[in-house]
Structure 1
Amino acid sequence: MKAKKTVTVILTSVIGLTVGVSSAWAYGTISSGISSPPLTFTKWNGFDPATYTAFSNAASPWNVVSQGEIGKNIIDPNGTTTSTNSYPVDDYTNLITKGDRGLNQYLMQTTTYKYIYPWIDNHTLHADIDINGSFAWSNNQTSGTYDVQNVITHEFGHAAGLADLYGTGDTEKTMYGYSSTDETKKRTLDTDDINGIKALY
Protein backbone atom coordinates (compact mmCIF):
# COMPACT_ATOMS: atom_id res chain seq x y z
CA MET A 1 0.00 0.00 0.00
CA LYS A 2 1.38 3.44 -0.90
CA ALA A 3 1.95 6.04 1.79
CA LYS A 4 -0.22 9.09 1.38
CA LYS A 5 -0.80 12.44 2.94
CA THR A 6 -4.08 14.26 3.38
CA VAL A 7 -4.74 17.82 2.26
CA THR A 8 -7.95 19.41 3.46
CA VAL A 9 -9.34 22.43 1.66
CA ILE A 10 -12.03 24.47 3.37
CA LEU A 11 -14.00 27.05 1.45
CA THR A 12 -12.81 29.77 3.80
CA SER A 13 -9.12 28.88 4.18
CA VAL A 14 -5.96 29.51 2.18
CA ILE A 15 -3.97 26.52 1.01
CA GLY A 16 -1.71 25.70 -1.88
CA LEU A 17 0.98 27.27 -3.97
CA THR A 18 0.11 29.92 -6.50
CA VAL A 19 1.74 28.93 -9.75
CA GLY A 20 0.20 31.33 -12.19
CA VAL A 21 0.17 35.00 -11.33
CA SER A 22 0.50 37.81 -13.83
CA SER A 23 -1.52 40.72 -15.07
CA ALA A 24 -3.14 38.34 -17.55
CA TRP A 25 -4.10 35.36 -15.35
CA ALA A 26 -4.03 34.04 -11.79
CA TYR A 27 -4.75 30.62 -10.33
CA GLY A 28 -3.35 28.43 -7.57
CA THR A 29 -2.83 24.70 -7.23
CA ILE A 30 -2.87 22.17 -4.40
CA SER A 31 -1.69 19.23 -6.52
CA SER A 32 -0.44 18.33 -9.98
CA GLY A 33 -3.97 17.29 -10.94
CA ILE A 34 -5.76 13.97 -10.73
CA SER A 35 -3.48 10.93 -10.94
CA SER A 36 -5.87 8.86 -13.05
CA PRO A 37 -8.88 10.87 -14.25
CA PRO A 38 -11.73 10.87 -13.86
CA LEU A 39 -12.43 10.94 -10.14
CA THR A 40 -15.72 9.03 -9.94
CA PHE A 41 -17.69 10.06 -6.87
CA THR A 42 -19.86 7.79 -4.75
CA LYS A 43 -22.70 9.84 -3.28
CA TRP A 44 -24.52 9.60 0.02
CA ASN A 45 -27.96 8.06 -0.68
CA GLY A 46 -29.78 10.73 1.36
CA PHE A 47 -29.51 13.35 -1.38
CA ASP A 48 -32.62 14.11 -3.43
CA PRO A 49 -32.62 13.80 -7.26
CA ALA A 50 -32.26 17.58 -7.71
CA THR A 51 -29.00 17.47 -5.76
CA TYR A 52 -27.67 14.67 -7.97
CA THR A 53 -28.52 16.86 -10.97
CA ALA A 54 -26.68 19.77 -9.34
CA PHE A 55 -23.58 17.57 -9.00
CA SER A 56 -23.70 16.67 -12.70
CA ASN A 57 -24.20 20.29 -13.72
CA ALA A 58 -21.31 21.37 -11.47
CA ALA A 59 -18.90 18.85 -13.01
CA SER A 60 -19.77 19.84 -16.57
CA PRO A 61 -17.75 23.08 -16.95
CA TRP A 62 -14.59 21.42 -15.61
CA ASN A 63 -15.08 18.48 -17.96
CA VAL A 64 -15.60 20.72 -20.98
CA VAL A 65 -12.13 22.17 -20.37
CA SER A 66 -10.47 18.80 -19.71
CA GLN A 67 -12.08 17.26 -22.80
CA GLY A 68 -10.37 19.95 -24.85
CA GLU A 69 -7.02 19.34 -23.15
CA ILE A 70 -6.77 15.57 -22.61
CA GLY A 71 -9.86 14.21 -24.35
CA LYS A 72 -11.53 12.92 -21.18
CA ASN A 73 -13.54 14.05 -18.18
CA ILE A 74 -11.74 14.76 -14.90
CA ILE A 75 -14.81 14.71 -12.60
CA ASP A 76 -17.52 12.02 -12.74
CA PRO A 77 -20.25 12.70 -10.15
CA ASN A 78 -22.41 9.82 -11.36
CA GLY A 79 -20.96 6.91 -9.40
CA THR A 80 -22.93 4.63 -7.11
CA THR A 81 -24.64 5.63 -3.88
CA THR A 82 -23.82 4.63 -0.32
CA SER A 83 -25.33 4.94 3.14
CA THR A 84 -21.92 6.08 4.44
CA ASN A 85 -22.10 9.62 5.71
CA SER A 86 -18.79 9.80 7.56
CA TYR A 87 -16.27 12.39 6.46
CA PRO A 88 -13.47 12.14 5.53
CA VAL A 89 -12.94 8.45 4.78
CA ASP A 90 -9.46 7.46 3.62
CA ASP A 91 -10.48 4.37 1.67
CA TYR A 92 -9.57 5.18 -1.96
CA THR A 93 -13.24 5.97 -2.63
CA ASN A 94 -14.27 9.45 -3.77
CA LEU A 95 -17.23 10.40 -1.58
CA ILE A 96 -19.77 13.21 -1.50
CA THR A 97 -21.42 13.29 1.93
CA LYS A 98 -23.63 15.59 3.97
CA GLY A 99 -24.02 15.96 7.69
CA ASP A 100 -24.80 18.54 10.35
CA ARG A 101 -21.27 19.64 11.24
CA GLY A 102 -22.19 22.86 13.09
CA LEU A 103 -22.53 26.50 12.06
CA ASN A 104 -19.06 27.32 13.36
CA GLN A 105 -17.53 24.86 10.87
CA TYR A 106 -16.98 24.91 7.12
CA LEU A 107 -19.74 25.48 4.57
CA MET A 108 -18.51 22.72 2.26
CA GLN A 109 -15.12 21.04 2.40
CA THR A 110 -12.88 18.90 0.20
CA THR A 111 -10.19 16.56 1.46
CA THR A 112 -7.75 15.33 -1.17
CA TYR A 113 -5.36 12.41 -0.75
CA LYS A 114 -1.94 12.38 -2.36
CA TYR A 115 1.31 10.46 -2.19
CA ILE A 116 3.26 11.29 0.95
CA TYR A 117 6.25 12.52 -1.08
CA PRO A 118 4.82 15.31 -3.28
CA TRP A 119 8.22 16.11 -4.79
CA ILE A 120 8.09 12.63 -6.35
CA ASP A 121 4.40 12.60 -7.30
CA ASN A 122 2.05 15.40 -6.29
CA HIS A 123 -1.05 14.05 -8.04
CA THR A 124 -4.40 13.64 -6.29
CA LEU A 125 -5.27 9.98 -5.74
CA HIS A 126 -8.79 10.48 -4.47
CA ALA A 127 -10.99 13.11 -2.80
CA ASP A 128 -13.91 13.40 -0.40
CA ILE A 129 -16.36 16.31 -0.36
CA ASP A 130 -18.65 17.12 2.56
CA ILE A 131 -21.66 19.42 2.57
CA ASN A 132 -22.36 20.92 5.98
CA GLY A 133 -26.07 20.38 6.51
CA SER A 134 -26.12 22.88 9.38
CA PHE A 135 -26.41 25.60 6.72
CA ALA A 136 -29.51 26.14 4.55
CA TRP A 137 -29.06 24.65 1.05
CA SER A 138 -31.25 24.58 -2.05
CA ASN A 139 -31.20 23.60 -5.70
CA ASN A 140 -33.79 26.12 -6.84
CA GLN A 141 -32.17 29.38 -5.70
CA THR A 142 -34.46 29.78 -2.69
CA SER A 143 -33.74 33.16 -1.13
CA GLY A 144 -31.44 33.05 1.88
CA THR A 145 -29.91 29.63 1.03
CA TYR A 146 -26.62 28.43 -0.36
CA ASP A 147 -26.81 27.04 -3.89
CA VAL A 148 -25.54 23.45 -4.04
CA GLN A 149 -24.38 23.65 -7.66
CA ASN A 150 -22.59 26.95 -7.04
CA VAL A 151 -20.52 25.72 -4.10
CA ILE A 152 -19.81 22.19 -5.30
CA THR A 153 -18.52 23.58 -8.61
CA HIS A 154 -15.87 25.27 -6.45
CA GLU A 155 -15.19 22.04 -4.54
CA PHE A 156 -14.80 20.05 -7.77
CA GLY A 157 -12.10 22.57 -8.64
CA HIS A 158 -10.23 21.51 -5.49
CA ALA A 159 -10.65 17.85 -6.41
CA ALA A 160 -9.15 18.68 -9.81
CA GLY A 161 -6.14 20.33 -8.17
CA LEU A 162 -6.95 24.04 -7.85
CA ALA A 163 -6.55 26.16 -4.70
CA ASP A 164 -8.67 28.89 -3.15
CA LEU A 165 -8.04 32.47 -4.27
CA TYR A 166 -8.52 35.51 -2.04
CA GLY A 167 -7.29 38.50 -4.03
CA THR A 168 -9.43 41.56 -4.65
CA GLY A 169 -9.39 40.65 -8.34
CA ASP A 170 -10.56 37.10 -7.66
CA THR A 171 -14.11 37.70 -6.42
CA GLU A 172 -15.80 36.63 -9.67
CA LYS A 173 -13.81 33.41 -10.05
CA THR A 174 -15.16 29.97 -9.25
CA MET A 175 -12.11 29.36 -7.05
CA TYR A 176 -12.66 32.48 -4.95
CA GLY A 177 -12.54 31.18 -1.38
CA TYR A 178 -15.74 32.72 -0.03
CA SER A 179 -19.37 32.13 -0.88
CA SER A 180 -22.64 33.74 0.19
CA THR A 181 -26.31 32.91 0.19
CA ASP A 182 -28.16 33.50 -3.09
CA GLU A 183 -24.87 33.30 -5.04
CA THR A 184 -24.66 31.40 -8.34
CA LYS A 185 -21.64 32.99 -10.09
CA LYS A 186 -19.32 30.08 -9.24
CA ARG A 187 -21.35 27.88 -11.58
CA THR A 188 -19.58 29.54 -14.54
CA LEU A 189 -15.80 29.24 -14.80
CA ASP A 190 -13.73 32.40 -15.09
CA THR A 191 -10.89 32.54 -17.60
CA ASP A 192 -8.40 32.04 -14.75
CA ASP A 193 -10.24 28.91 -13.54
CA ILE A 194 -10.02 27.56 -17.09
CA ASN A 195 -6.34 28.45 -17.38
CA GLY A 196 -5.62 26.63 -14.12
CA ILE A 197 -7.15 23.42 -15.45
CA LYS A 198 -5.32 23.82 -18.75
CA ALA A 199 -2.04 24.16 -16.86
CA LEU A 200 -2.70 20.98 -14.86
CA TYR A 201 -3.94 18.85 -17.74
Structure 2
Amino acid sequence: MRKIILTLSLFLLLLVTLVTPLARAQNEVERPRGLEDKGPLTKITFIHYKNGTVRQYPATKPKVSACYTFLASGAKWKTTEEYLINPINQDGLSGDFIKDAFDKGTTAWESQVSFNIFGSSILDSASVYQTESPDGENVVVFDDYPDNGVIAITSVWGYFSGPPKTRELIEWDMLLNERFVWGNADGNESVMDLQNIATHELGHSAGMGDLYTTDCNLETMFGYSSEGEIIKRDLNSGDIVGIKKLYP
Protein backbone atom coordinates (compact mmCIF):
# COMPACT_ATOMS: atom_id res chain seq x y z
CA MET A 1 0.00 0.00 0.00
CA ARG A 2 2.83 2.39 0.95
CA LYS A 3 4.53 1.58 -2.34
CA ILE A 4 1.37 2.49 -4.26
CA ILE A 5 1.01 5.79 -2.37
CA LEU A 6 4.68 6.65 -2.96
CA THR A 7 4.35 5.88 -6.67
CA LEU A 8 1.18 8.00 -6.93
CA SER A 9 2.87 10.92 -5.13
CA LEU A 10 5.85 10.82 -7.48
CA PHE A 11 3.48 10.78 -10.47
CA LEU A 12 1.56 13.82 -9.21
CA LEU A 13 4.81 15.70 -8.53
CA LEU A 14 6.01 14.97 -12.05
CA LEU A 15 2.66 16.11 -13.49
CA VAL A 16 2.80 19.43 -11.61
CA THR A 17 6.38 19.97 -12.78
CA LEU A 18 5.34 19.52 -16.41
CA VAL A 19 2.10 21.52 -16.28
CA THR A 20 3.38 24.62 -14.42
CA PRO A 21 5.76 25.82 -17.18
CA LEU A 22 2.99 25.31 -19.74
CA ALA A 23 0.58 27.45 -17.73
CA ARG A 24 3.26 30.10 -17.30
CA ALA A 25 3.91 30.09 -21.04
CA GLN A 26 0.19 30.50 -21.75
CA ASN A 27 0.04 33.50 -19.40
CA GLU A 28 2.98 35.08 -21.18
CA VAL A 29 1.14 34.81 -24.49
CA GLU A 30 -1.89 36.52 -22.97
CA ARG A 31 0.27 39.28 -21.44
CA PRO A 32 3.43 39.91 -23.46
CA ARG A 33 6.63 40.53 -21.56
CA GLY A 34 7.38 44.19 -21.02
CA LEU A 35 3.75 45.35 -21.11
CA GLU A 36 3.83 46.01 -17.38
CA ASP A 37 6.98 48.13 -17.84
CA LYS A 38 5.20 50.98 -19.66
CA GLY A 39 4.46 52.76 -16.43
CA PRO A 40 1.27 54.74 -15.74
CA LEU A 41 -0.70 56.53 -18.43
CA THR A 42 0.17 60.21 -17.94
CA LYS A 43 -0.78 63.61 -19.37
CA ILE A 44 1.77 66.32 -20.15
CA THR A 45 0.38 69.78 -20.86
CA PHE A 46 2.25 72.56 -22.67
CA ILE A 47 1.15 76.18 -22.33
CA HIS A 48 2.28 78.43 -25.18
CA TYR A 49 2.82 81.96 -23.91
CA LYS A 50 3.02 85.21 -25.79
CA ASN A 51 6.40 86.94 -25.78
CA GLY A 52 6.86 89.03 -22.65
CA THR A 53 4.69 86.91 -20.37
CA VAL A 54 5.85 84.82 -17.42
CA ARG A 55 7.24 81.45 -18.39
CA GLN A 56 5.71 78.35 -16.89
CA TYR A 57 7.30 74.98 -17.55
CA PRO A 58 5.13 71.92 -18.23
CA ALA A 59 4.69 69.27 -15.55
CA THR A 60 7.63 67.30 -16.93
CA LYS A 61 10.52 69.60 -17.81
CA PRO A 62 12.60 68.02 -20.59
CA LYS A 63 16.36 68.35 -20.78
CA VAL A 64 17.75 70.68 -23.40
CA SER A 65 20.22 69.27 -25.90
CA ALA A 66 21.34 70.99 -29.11
CA CYS A 67 18.12 73.02 -29.40
CA TYR A 68 15.65 70.15 -29.25
CA THR A 69 13.82 68.42 -26.42
CA PHE A 70 11.44 65.48 -26.07
CA LEU A 71 8.43 64.86 -23.85
CA ALA A 72 10.46 61.85 -22.71
CA SER A 73 13.25 59.93 -24.38
CA GLY A 74 11.69 57.45 -26.81
CA ALA A 75 8.10 58.65 -26.26
CA LYS A 76 6.60 58.75 -29.75
CA TRP A 77 3.73 57.52 -31.90
CA LYS A 78 3.87 53.87 -32.89
CA THR A 79 0.58 53.94 -34.79
CA THR A 80 -0.88 56.63 -37.05
CA GLU A 81 -4.19 58.23 -36.06
CA GLU A 82 -6.38 60.85 -37.71
CA TYR A 83 -7.17 64.07 -35.88
CA LEU A 84 -10.31 66.20 -35.75
CA ILE A 85 -10.44 69.97 -36.22
CA ASN A 86 -13.46 71.89 -35.00
CA PRO A 87 -13.47 74.85 -37.44
CA ILE A 88 -15.89 77.02 -35.46
CA ASN A 89 -14.13 80.29 -34.67
CA GLN A 90 -14.92 83.94 -34.00
CA ASP A 91 -12.59 85.34 -36.68
CA GLY A 92 -14.50 84.10 -39.72
CA LEU A 93 -11.76 81.72 -40.85
CA SER A 94 -12.99 79.11 -43.31
CA GLY A 95 -12.67 75.42 -42.63
CA ASP A 96 -10.49 75.04 -45.71
CA PHE A 97 -8.07 77.72 -44.49
CA ILE A 98 -7.80 76.11 -41.06
CA LYS A 99 -7.34 72.61 -42.47
CA ASP A 100 -4.68 73.85 -44.89
CA ALA A 101 -2.73 75.51 -42.08
CA PHE A 102 -2.66 72.27 -40.09
CA ASP A 103 -1.88 70.13 -43.13
CA LYS A 104 1.14 72.34 -43.82
CA GLY A 105 2.14 72.01 -40.18
CA THR A 106 2.06 68.23 -40.26
CA THR A 107 3.98 68.20 -43.55
CA ALA A 108 6.73 70.32 -41.99
CA TRP A 109 7.39 67.54 -39.46
CA GLU A 110 6.63 64.47 -41.55
CA SER A 111 8.80 65.59 -44.47
CA GLN A 112 11.84 65.03 -42.24
CA VAL A 113 11.11 61.39 -41.37
CA SER A 114 9.86 58.23 -43.03
CA PHE A 115 7.14 57.54 -40.44
CA ASN A 116 3.63 58.93 -40.92
CA ILE A 117 3.31 60.69 -37.55
CA PHE A 118 -0.08 62.26 -38.16
CA GLY A 119 -3.08 60.78 -39.89
CA SER A 120 -5.60 62.71 -41.96
CA SER A 121 -7.06 65.97 -40.68
CA ILE A 122 -10.87 65.92 -40.56
CA LEU A 123 -13.15 68.92 -40.07
CA ASP A 124 -15.72 68.11 -37.40
CA SER A 125 -17.86 70.85 -35.85
CA ALA A 126 -19.01 68.49 -33.10
CA SER A 127 -15.53 67.85 -31.71
CA VAL A 128 -14.91 69.05 -28.16
CA TYR A 129 -11.77 69.77 -26.16
CA GLN A 130 -11.54 67.70 -23.01
CA THR A 131 -8.40 66.64 -21.17
CA GLU A 132 -9.70 65.04 -17.98
CA SER A 133 -9.11 61.58 -19.42
CA PRO A 134 -8.32 60.06 -22.82
CA ASP A 135 -11.37 59.72 -25.06
CA GLY A 136 -9.76 58.11 -28.10
CA GLU A 137 -9.79 61.29 -30.22
CA ASN A 138 -7.11 63.81 -31.16
CA VAL A 139 -8.83 67.18 -31.30
CA VAL A 140 -8.15 70.82 -32.22
CA VAL A 141 -10.59 73.56 -31.14
CA PHE A 142 -10.80 77.35 -30.93
CA ASP A 143 -12.07 78.43 -27.52
CA ASP A 144 -11.65 81.03 -24.81
CA TYR A 145 -8.92 80.47 -22.23
CA PRO A 146 -8.98 82.87 -19.26
CA ASP A 147 -5.47 84.25 -19.67
CA ASN A 148 -4.62 86.99 -22.16
CA GLY A 149 -1.02 85.81 -22.32
CA VAL A 150 -1.77 82.21 -23.33
CA ILE A 151 -1.83 81.57 -27.08
CA ALA A 152 -2.48 77.83 -27.10
CA ILE A 153 -2.49 74.71 -24.95
CA THR A 154 -1.62 71.19 -26.04
CA SER A 155 -2.07 68.16 -23.80
CA VAL A 156 -0.47 64.86 -24.74
CA TRP A 157 -1.36 61.50 -23.18
CA GLY A 158 1.14 58.69 -23.16
CA TYR A 159 3.44 56.31 -21.32
CA PHE A 160 6.51 58.32 -20.35
CA SER A 161 8.17 56.57 -17.39
CA GLY A 162 8.94 53.02 -18.51
CA PRO A 163 12.02 51.92 -20.46
CA PRO A 164 12.41 54.14 -23.57
CA LYS A 165 11.49 51.32 -25.94
CA THR A 166 8.11 50.89 -24.22
CA ARG A 167 7.20 54.59 -24.12
CA GLU A 168 4.41 55.65 -26.42
CA LEU A 169 2.07 58.55 -27.24
CA ILE A 170 -1.62 57.69 -27.48
CA GLU A 171 -3.60 60.95 -27.72
CA TRP A 172 -3.39 64.73 -27.92
CA ASP A 173 -5.77 67.68 -27.62
CA MET A 174 -5.14 71.29 -28.63
CA LEU A 175 -6.87 74.55 -27.72
CA LEU A 176 -6.26 77.80 -29.62
CA ASN A 177 -7.14 80.77 -27.43
CA GLU A 178 -9.82 83.01 -28.92
CA ARG A 179 -8.55 85.97 -26.92
CA PHE A 180 -6.23 86.41 -29.89
CA VAL A 181 -7.24 87.26 -33.46
CA TRP A 182 -6.22 84.37 -35.72
CA GLY A 183 -5.40 84.49 -39.40
CA ASN A 184 -2.62 84.69 -41.99
CA ALA A 185 0.17 87.02 -40.89
CA ASP A 186 1.49 87.27 -44.45
CA GLY A 187 -1.18 89.82 -45.14
CA ASN A 188 -1.80 91.16 -41.65
CA GLU A 189 0.96 91.27 -39.06
CA SER A 190 -1.50 92.15 -36.30
CA VAL A 191 -2.97 88.62 -36.24
CA MET A 192 -1.68 85.43 -34.65
CA ASP A 193 -0.54 83.34 -37.59
CA LEU A 194 -2.42 80.04 -37.53
CA GLN A 195 0.11 77.98 -39.48
CA ASN A 196 2.94 79.31 -37.31
CA ILE A 197 1.30 78.25 -34.05
CA ALA A 198 -0.14 75.02 -35.49
CA THR A 199 3.31 73.83 -36.55
CA HIS A 200 4.69 74.48 -33.06
CA GLU A 201 1.79 72.78 -31.28
CA LEU A 202 1.92 69.80 -33.64
CA GLY A 203 5.53 69.41 -32.58
CA HIS A 204 4.26 68.68 -29.07
CA SER A 205 1.72 66.25 -30.52
CA ALA A 206 4.60 64.42 -32.20
CA GLY A 207 6.64 64.20 -28.99
CA MET A 208 8.76 67.37 -29.02
CA GLY A 209 9.19 69.63 -25.99
CA ASP A 210 9.51 73.39 -25.56
CA LEU A 211 12.73 75.42 -25.71
CA TYR A 212 13.27 78.54 -23.62
CA THR A 213 16.93 79.45 -24.09
CA THR A 214 17.67 82.45 -26.28
CA ASP A 215 20.23 80.41 -28.22
CA CYS A 216 17.28 78.39 -29.55
CA ASN A 217 14.92 81.25 -30.41
CA LEU A 218 14.94 80.45 -34.13
CA GLU A 219 13.54 76.96 -33.60
CA THR A 220 9.91 76.05 -34.25
CA MET A 221 9.79 74.63 -30.72
CA PHE A 222 10.91 77.87 -29.05
CA GLY A 223 8.30 78.39 -26.35
CA TYR A 224 7.20 81.97 -27.03
CA SER A 225 5.41 83.59 -29.98
CA SER A 226 3.69 86.83 -30.93
CA GLU A 227 1.38 88.35 -33.50
CA GLY A 228 2.85 88.61 -36.98
CA GLU A 229 5.41 85.85 -36.37
CA ILE A 230 5.81 83.23 -39.12
CA ILE A 231 9.28 81.81 -38.39
CA LYS A 232 7.85 78.66 -36.78
CA ARG A 233 6.17 77.57 -40.02
CA ASP A 234 9.45 76.01 -41.18
CA LEU A 235 11.60 73.77 -39.02
CA ASN A 236 15.04 74.97 -38.00
CA SER A 237 18.17 72.82 -37.63
CA GLY A 238 17.49 71.77 -34.02
CA ASP A 239 13.88 70.82 -34.80
CA ILE A 240 15.07 68.68 -37.70
CA VAL A 241 17.78 66.92 -35.70
CA GLY A 242 15.31 66.25 -32.89
CA ILE A 243 12.47 64.80 -34.95
CA LYS A 244 14.89 62.61 -36.89
CA LYS A 245 16.30 61.28 -33.64
CA LEU A 246 12.83 60.58 -32.25
CA TYR A 247 11.65 58.87 -35.46
CA PRO A 248 14.85 57.38 -36.94
User: Does TM, scored on the shorter chain, surpass 0.5?
Assistant: yes
- CA distance in 1 between partners of 2:98 and 2:87 (Å): 11
Structure showing the higher strand proportion among its residues: 1
Match of 1:193 among 239, 243, 248: 239
Q: Paired residue for 1:123?
A: 168
Residue type at the aligned position of 2:221? M
Q: What is the rounded CA distance, in whole Å, between the counterparts of 1:175 and 1:37 in structure 2?
A: 23
Matched residue SS, 1:157: helix
Equivalent position of 2:200 in the other structure: 154
Higher helix share: 2
Unmatched 5+ stretches in structure 2: 1-37, 50-55
Q: How many residue pairs were aligned?
A: 191
Closer/same/farther in 2, CA of residues 186 and 93 from structure 1, 3 Å limit: same
One-letter amino acid of the counterpart of residue 141, structure 2: T
Alignment of 1:1-201 (within 5 A): 4-12=41-49, 13-15=56-58, 16-18=61-63, 21=65, 25-31=66-72, 32-46=74-88, 48=94, 49-67=96-114, 72-79=115-122, 81-88=124-131, 90-104=134-148, 106-115=150-159, 118-120=161-163, 121-139=166-184, 141=186, 142-201=188-247
How much has 1:143 moved relative to structure 2? Answer: 2.5
TM superposition shift of 1:93:
0.8
Paired amino acid for 2:152: M
The CA deviation string for residues 62-111 of structure 1, in whole angstroms up to 9 with x for no partner, is 010122xxxx3212352352413333362021111111123436211110
SS in 2 for 1:42: strand
- The 3-state SS of whatever aligns with 1:166 is coil
Which of 1 and 2 has higher RCO (CA within 8 Å, sep 6+)?
Answer: 1
Q: 1:35 to 1:143 in 2, by over 3 A?
A: closer
TM-score under structure 1 length normalisation: 0.85
Note if contact 2:143-2:176 (Cα within 8 Å) is conserved in structure 1. Answer: yes
> Residues 51 and 139 of structure 1 are in contact (CA less than 8 Å); yes or no, is this contact kept in structure 2?
no
TM-score by length of 2: 0.70
Q: Distance in 2 between matches of 1:45 and 1:150?
A: 17
Letter in 1 for 2:98: T
Q: Which moved more, 1:46-55 or 1:168-177?
A: 46-55
SS of match in other structure, 1:73 = coil
Aligned-partner Cα distance in 2 for 1:10–1:174: 15
- Alignment partner of 2:130: what SS? coil
Aligned-residue RMSD, C-alpha: 2.1
C-alpha displacement at 1:18, in angstroms? 1.9
Q: Could you tell me whether the CA contact under 8 Å between 2:129 and 2:173 is conserved in 1?
A: no
User: 1:51 and 1:140 mapped to 2: Cα distance?
Assistant: 14
Task: Deviation per CA, 1:10-30: give whole Å up to 9, x if none.
Answer: 1133343226x2xxx321110
Higher Rg: 2
